[in-house]
Amino acid sequence: MPRAGSRYEVVIGLEVHTQLRTRSKLFSEAPVTFGEKPNHAVTPYCLALPGTLPVLNARAVELAIRAGLATHCTVHTHSVFARKNYFYPDLPKGYQISQYEEPICTGGWLEIEVPAAGGEEPQRRRIGITRIHLEEDAGKSIHDESLFGEGTLVDLNRAGVPLLEIVSEPDLRSPEEAGAYLRALRELLRAIEVSEADMEKGQFRCDANVSIRPEGSRELGTRTELKNLNSFRFVEEAIAAEVGRQAEILDAGGRVQQATLLYDPDRRRTRVMRVKENADDYRYFPDPDLVPLRIDPARIEAIRAELPELPEARRARFEAELGLLPREAAALVRNRSLAEYFEAAARAHGDPRAVARFLLRDLLAALGDRQPDETALPPEGLARLLRLVDDGRLTARSARDLLPELLERGGDPEALMRSRGLEAVSDAGALGGVVEEVLREHPGEVASFRAGEQKLLNFLMGQVMRRTRGKADPASVRELLLRRLGQGG
Amino acid sequence: MSVDAPGITLEDLRRLADLARLELGDGEATALAADLARILGFVRQLQELDTAGVPPTAHVMELATPLREDEPDAPLPPEEAIRNAPAHEGTAFLVPQVLDSDEA
């Protein structure tokens, strides 16, 4: 009997809500804030006071167009706002203004990098984007424990904040692919400055539709919806847990019920929040307060022309023009700040591959949570540091050791190398003396090496390196040692 | 009890009332069902028109929605915002406790 997971194919579609980078709300001039005291960023419209009317934010429309173009969608010159009707205390109008039958963007795709097993080059796949539409956020309900049994607090600062909902096709086939899609989407939205997509501030939220079907089947299984997944890790964990839950049901001969679920990260289990008897009945209809949104095709083309280079185009250019390996290029473009830093350093240094290797291996480790442009080491400084290594004046290890201080305090790498006394010892004269000393103090090891114990060379090298405190160039030490050991006496 | 008006069953009406958070007595339900059936009748009458070749519209006016520059304005003073609220805690509205986290 094969393992449960292996007999089923997993089918995942994601709905992402991302907060647009605007200063005011979608339909009112209320400021967009974060961490403000309750109801300190509301206007009469946010409170749904009688007589108020929505007026659409031009910037939000522009950002939606930008997101559509960057995901290869068709941007429609005519789209319609609709009311999604439901009752909840943090939704004062009793409906959310969204787009339903005629969204602003449809039919695009996002390229993702699918993680590959065991050191192989990652695969790239296009994930379909069904639609992108504009909508307003709801307010916040605060279930304060001190008020337990007495009531719920409602803060409408967030009510009306502009969101984009980005709906993928059910093209994702594993929790890891779902994670890769979300990371690529978030990076793209940040690169084109559509959203800051800060998950901790709730600016990038995800719901996942998950179903499984027997391997080889073309029919879709019954899907469940996982709500409010607010970190990449939770998304992957929650989907994996839900796939396990559905597989258990099918293995036992049962049927998956259409339902909305929440993920409990502490118990690593999904929990049914409500079962859907029918599809949700939101009674969408075109908002009578808002006539259709019309966009001049020339405006769309102007926005297209202003788009910055997208991560996937940058990746292709890094491979084709700078000669990076696919793995290196993909790792660098994942982070816009890192990609730009790399390009500047590569230009200043002249050998993009050497710069890429150092960045990905040594710089990333030294950076920790910082972005390279937040440090005191400009890309030109990094290029100077690497040139010292190229010239044999600094060992790769010493270059790595200097990084923390350069990132923290900046300054000239060469001056720092000197002040720390790390200039590499590679000339035969200076090293020769150390080599002689080591050979003299370890006659036994020298004799054994000459008798055929080759691995003792490493021991002797280690002794020389220790005595030079790592400043010696390993290649030179090796060469000197072999030359001396090859001779008698 | 039965509702004879075509197109609206009492079950439909109960569901609509539930979605609209309306509590209906039996008498009200019967009267409302009759009203709704008549409204559906009016709409059905419109369907008799031949609209082949007429593009569907969401609005009767041939207008485009006006746009507003993304300029924030001063918000309401918070004490004004909560002035009409039956209850509040600080500047937050206080509403009857929401029992489940049933969100749309």
CB atoms within 10 A of CB A282: 17
Q: What is the pLDDT of residue A426?
A: 64
pLDDT computed for residue A396 by the predictor: 87
The reply to whether A156 touches chain B by the CB within 8 Å rule is yes
In CATH, what number is assigned to the domain containing residue A442?
A: 1.10.10.410
* Whether residue A412 is found in the same domain as residue A480: no
pLDDT in tens, A400-414: 999 999 999 988 999
Q: Quick one: pLDDT band at residue A47, thresholds 50, 70, 90?
A: very high
By DSSP bridging, strand A8-19 and strand A162-168 are antiparallel
Cβ-Cβ contacts under 8 Å, A88 against chain B:
98, 102-104
pLDDT over threshold 60, residue A222: yes
What pLDDT score was predicted for residue B101? Answer: 45
Task: Tell whether the model's pLDDT for residue A41 goes beyond 90.
Answer: yes
Nearest by Cα to A133 from A74, A182, A188, A207: A74
Confidence of residue A485 (pLDDT cuts 50, 70, 90): confident
Asked, for residue A304, whether it belongs to a domain, the answer is: no
**Closest Cα of chain B to A286: distance in Å?**
6
**Last residue of some domain: A250, A275, A299?**
A299
Closest-CA residue to A185 (of A272, A257, A277, A110): A110
Number of folded domains that form chain A: 3
Tell me the pTM. Answer: 0.79
Residues on B contacting A at a C-beta cutoff of 8 Å: 15, 19, 21, 58-59, 61, 63-73, 75-76, 78, 81-82, 87, 89-98, 100-104
Q: What is the pLDDT of residue A375?
A: 92
Q: Identify the domain boundary among A274, A299, A324.
A: A299
Between A69 and A434, name the one with better pLDDT.
Answer: A69
* Contact between chains at B66 and A150 (C-beta distance less than 8 A): no
Same-domain pairing of A290 and A319: no
SS3 content of chain B, % helix, strand, coil (to 5): 35, 10, 60
Q: What is the pLDDT of residues B22-36, one digit of tens each?
A: 898 878 888 888 899
Would you call B70 and A60 a contact, using CB atoms and an 8 Å cutoff? yes
pLDDT band at A194 (very low <50, low <70, confident <90, very high): very high
ipTM of the complex: 0.85
Specify the pLDDT at position A119: 66
Place B15 in a pLDDT band, splitting at 50, 70 and 90: confident
Q: Bridge-partner residues for A264, per DSSP?
A: A269
A290 and A146 in a common domain: yes
pLDDT at A349 (0 to 100)? 94
**Is A28 inside a domain boundary?**
yes
Residue A323 sits in the same domain as residue A442: no
What domains, with CATH codes, occur in chain B? Answer: 10-46 (1.10.20.60)
What gap in Å lies between CA A381 and CA A462, rounded to an integer?
Answer: 31
pLDDT at B104 over 60: no
Alpha carbons A400 and A410: distance in angstroms, whole number: 14
Chain A, residues 66-95, CB within 8 A of chain B, namely: 80-81, 84-89, 91
Which range (A29-33, A122-126, A424-428, B62-66) has the least confidence? A424-428
Report yes or no on A276 lying in a domain: yes
| DSSP letter string, A79-119 | E-EEEEE---TT-TTSEEEEE-SS-SEEEEEEEEEE--STT
- Chain B residues touching residue A290 (CB < 8 angstroms): 65
Between A145 and A224, whose confidence is greater?
Answer: A224
- The whole-number pLDDT of residue B16 equals 86
Residue A327 shares a structural domain with residue A259: no
Window from A4-8, A105-109, A194-198, A408-412 with minimum mean pLDDT: A4-8
Instruction: Report whether pLDDT(A121) > 80.
Output: no
* A22 near B CB under 8 A: yes
* CA distances (Å), origin A12, targets A149, A210, A222, A381: 38, 5, 12, 45
pLDDT-above-70 percentage for chain B: 88
Give yes or no: residues A402 and A443 share one domain.
no
Residues A350 and A472 in one domain: no
B59 and A292 within 8 Å at the Cβ level: the answer is: yes
For the stretch A255-291, pLDDT in tens is 999 999 999 888 889 988 877 655 568 989 999 999 9
Question: With contacts defined as CB-CB under 8 Å, which chain A residues touch B69?
Answer: 58-59
State what percent of residues in chain A have pLDDT above 70.
95
On average, the pLDDT of chain A sits at 90
What pLDDT, on a 0 to 100 scale, did the predictor assign at position A226?
A: 95
pLDDT at B6: 60
In a shared domain, residues A194 and A244: yes
* The pLDDT of residue A225 is above 90: yes
User: Do residues A329 and A315 lie in contact, with contact meaning Cβ atoms separated by under 8 Å?
Assistant: yes
pLDDT at B102: 44
- Same-domain check for residues A45 and A89: yes
How far is it, in rounded angstroms, from Cα B40 to Cα B37?
5
- Is the confidence at residue B4, as pLDDT, over 50? no
Predicted local confidence at residue A6, as pLDDT = 59
Measure the CA angle with vertex A385, ends A380 and A388; round to 5°.
130
Cβ–Cβ under 8 Å, residues A256 and A246? yes
Assess whether pLDDT exceeds 90 at residue B18: no
CA distances from A458 to A266, A314, A351, A394, A441 (A): 49, 43, 31, 21, 16
pLDDT band at A482 (very low <50, low <70, confident <90, very high): confident
Question: Same domain for A224 and A185?
Answer: yes
In a domain, A251, yes or no: yes
Q: Searching chain B, which residue's CA lies closest to the CA of residue A80?
A: B58
Q: What are the pLDDT digits (tens) for A430-481? A: 788 888 889 999 999 898 988 888 888 889 988 888 888 777 878 888 888 8
Q: Which domain holds residue A432?
A: 428-486
Both A434 and A412 in a single domain?
A: no
**Domain final residue pick, A383, A402, A419:** A419
The answer to whether residue A322 sits within a structural domain is yes
A400, A455: one domain: no
